[in-house]
Amino acid sequence: MGGDFAPQSTVQGAVDAVRELENSLQVLLVGDEKALRTELSQYDYPADRISIISTSKVVTMTDRPTRVLKEKRDSSLIRAVELHSEREAAAVVSAGHTGAQVAASLVMLGRIEGVRRPTIGSYFPSENGVALLVDVGANTDCKPIHMLQFAAMGSIFVEHFFERRPARVGLLNIGEEQTRGNQLAVSTYYLFERSGLNFVGNIEGRDIFKGAADVIVCDGFVGNILLKFAETIYELLLARFQGALNIGLPNEELHQALRGFQKDFDYAEHGGVPLLGVNGVSIICHGRSSARAIKNAIREAVIMVERKIPEAIREGIEQYHAGLFSRGIARLHSYQEWRERHSRESD
């Protein structure tokens, strides 16, 4: 029931998903039963593959996530996450309140053991396909160990979801040199360099679309600003080109190029973004999600379940904590001590 166009886009997206995806897929629509049945009545679909779970409440964008968990347990969003936690559903997809979905996923699904902070990734088009940017808003104040875990989880996701091995990891910074940036960036570089990740070094904002890395790591404060800025680029250029796209161009190659650009930047192409680091598959969709976005988010959830990405992240984090993380943190402490001593001597 969440999202700007719910439940219309949610229902249509679910119908399109069961029509187009494999026969084993079943969708549970969680929300106001009357409203959902009214929407479903407009479509021809395999009735045995879509079920309704009735709830009495809806999470609004003004609700505080912590209060939602206490006061709106029978809301569509909380009940959907609960179904996943109870193994009655293999994944949860929502275009509703992001904060409430993250909070519910953390409380009901729980963090993967060893993960200090789950992260939200987002997709950016590049010359080499798609790049994953982590974090894009879940964590605004980060430490180097958090950034290292974002990189590890993002790498595992890209390697399994996009089958791109080994994933190249870049640290978003204001320069290429390892000493550039603030304390967080410099310390994180030191840690990444010794982590065992396929670290390609610092990358600047201009390198993102060039495909310099498969996984781009930053704190959620920077990542969220970058994400929303990128959305406005797409919307501005789409508005400028829309007339040409509608009437057709004499140059068919240029016409196709513009169509490709539109597809690359359209968030509906991927549907949603994953919350990495929880014991399950929680896909967060844009509030303005269309039916196509919902359908593609369901497809994304299916791939994550089939390729057992949460399990792969769990195994990867265990391996890192058994060796690389512990050694990396020890080195980081040594580096920080050296830096502090060097600063005092310089003063």
DSSP string computed for 213-262 = -SEEE--HHHHHHHHHHHHHHHHHHHHHHHHHHHH--S-HHHHHHHHHHH
Token readout for 184 is 């967080």
* Predicted confidence band of residue 338 (pLDDT cuts 50, 70, 90): very low
What is the model's pLDDT at position 167?
A: 95
pLDDT score of 329 more than 60: no
CATH class of domain segment(s) 1-110+278-307: alpha beta
Q: Higher-confidence residue: 168 or 252? A: 168
Residue 73: per-residue pLDDT: 93
Q: What is residue 340's predicted lDDT score, i.e. its pLDDT?
A: 55
CATH 3.40.718.10 domain span(s) along the chain: 1-110+278-307, 117-270+309-347
What's the mean per-residue pLDDT of the chain? 87
Using pLDDT thresholds of 50, 70 and 90, give the confidence band for residue 346. Answer: very low
Mean pLDDT of 219-231: 90
Q: Please tell me the predicted confidence (pLDDT) of residue 109.
A: 97
- Compute the half-sphere exposure of residue 335: CA atoms within 13 Å on the CB side of its CA: 19
**Structure confidence at residue 347 (pLDDT):** 46
Of 130-139, 199-208, 263-272, which gets the smallest average pLDDT? 263-272
pLDDT range class, residue 202, cuts 50, 70, 90: very high
Give the pLDDT score at 231: 78
Q: pTM for the complete prediction?
A: 0.86
**Confidence band of 342 (pLDDT split at 50, 70, 90):** very low
Third-level CATH fold of 117-270+309-347: Isopropylmalate Dehydrogenase (3.40.718)
Please confirm whether the linkage preceding 250 is cis (ω < 30° from 0): no
Of the listed ranges 37-51, 244-258, 297-311, the one predicted with least confidence: 244-258
Report pLDDT for 225.
Answer: 93
In this prediction, residues 182-187 reach a mean pLDDT of 92
pLDDT, average across residues 61-70: 91
pLDDT tens string 234-259:
777 767 776 655 655 555 665 566 66
Selected residue with higher pLDDT from 345 and 118: 118
Q: What average pLDDT does range 63-71 have in this prediction?
A: 91
Q: What is the mean pLDDT of residues 275-291?
A: 94
Which pLDDT value is given to residue 127? 85
Confidence of residue 131 (pLDDT cuts 50, 70, 90): very high
* pLDDT value of residue 345: 47
User: CA 131, CA 197: separation in Å to the nearest integer?
Assistant: 16
Residue 341: pLDDT over 90: no
Question: Residue type for 195, please?
Answer: S
Is residue 329 within 8 A of residue 146, CB to CB? The reply is no
**Mean pLDDT value across residues 18-45:** 94
Report how far residue 74's alpha carbon sits from residue 72's, in angstroms, rounded to the nearest whole number: 5
Helix (H) or strand (E) holding 263, with range, is helix 252-265
Q: Exposed e or buried b for every residue in 81-91, given b needs 16+ CB within 10 A? A: bbbbbeeebbb
Tell which wins on pLDDT, 314 or 255: 314
